Amino acid sequence: MANSQQMPSHIAVIMDGNGRWAQRQNLPRIEGHRRGVASVRRTVEECTRLGIEQLTLYCLSSENWKRPQSELDFLMHLLEQYMIEERSTIMKQDVRVRTIGRRCGIPEGVLREIDKTIELSANNKGTCLCLAINYGGRGEIVDAISRIAHDVKEGQVDPELLTEERIGEYLYTAGMPDPDLLIRTSGEMRISNFLLWQLSYSEIWVTEKCWPEFEESDLHEAIEIYSGRERRYGGLTMHIDNE
């Protein structure tokens, strides 16, 4: 296992393959989502144990609303249940919860439980667990541009002085570090409208395993591979190991 100096500060995960896993097991798709919650629990607990600063999970994309209503209703039920059932563990492990994405379309009961967990965990000092819910990278950029245009019109922003850092302050992820490592399950080689701005220099690791199959050992493997890569940022080679 990589030592702490080689650990990524921020890991983002595209949790893909719940439905495919279920179909391979001759189970309904919703059973894949149910099993996926167990993988979330394992991953959060292991990141907490390893001292990972932030973990961002792609829970529901803005495109997922195209799925059957019965599946969406079950996903909302799972999200609400997770917020209630994991709340004590979140507090015990000193995890701080936040979300990114648009709130529209999410049932009031689910939002209420999300907000309660966010409020209760706001002063925790451990791993930040960021849940991307009803999230889309392009939508995030559109919302940021809209807010910037408003502030320019109001005279609060000089468009001639805009920088990447200033634009970052208008994104959902304002105040969060960009991901060092992106993990994607189910073998798909795309980022699916996830953190388009923030993933510019992230290392990417893909596994053929579907999300319900994702274990602590897979997380360790991703971190090990990350620790051995060279990050250039468009310039000269920079080893992740700074020793």
Identify the H or E element spanning 85: helix 69-85
Which one of the listed residues 16, 134, 180, 218 is annotated catalytic? 16
SS3 category, 132:
strand
Of the candidates 236, 224, 216, the residue with the CA atom closest to the CA atom of residue 44: 216
Which one of the listed residues 3, 64, 123, 241 is annotated catalytic? 64
Provide the CA 204 distance to its chain's centre, in angstroms. Answer: 14
Q: Residue 187 and residue 52: Cα distance in Å, rounded?
A: 24
- For residue 140, what is the DSSP state? H
Give yes or no: 143 in active site.
no
Q: Where are the alpha helices (DSSP H) in 86-163?
A: 87-92, 108-121, 137-153
Identify the H or E element spanning 222: helix 216-227
Instruction: Note whether 199 and 179 are within 8 A (CB).
Output: yes
Q: Residue 187 and residue 205: Cα distance in Å, rounded?
A: 10
Cβ atoms within 10 Å, residue 44: 21
Give yes or no: 180 in active site.
no
Instruction: Show which residues are catalytic.
Output: 16, 64
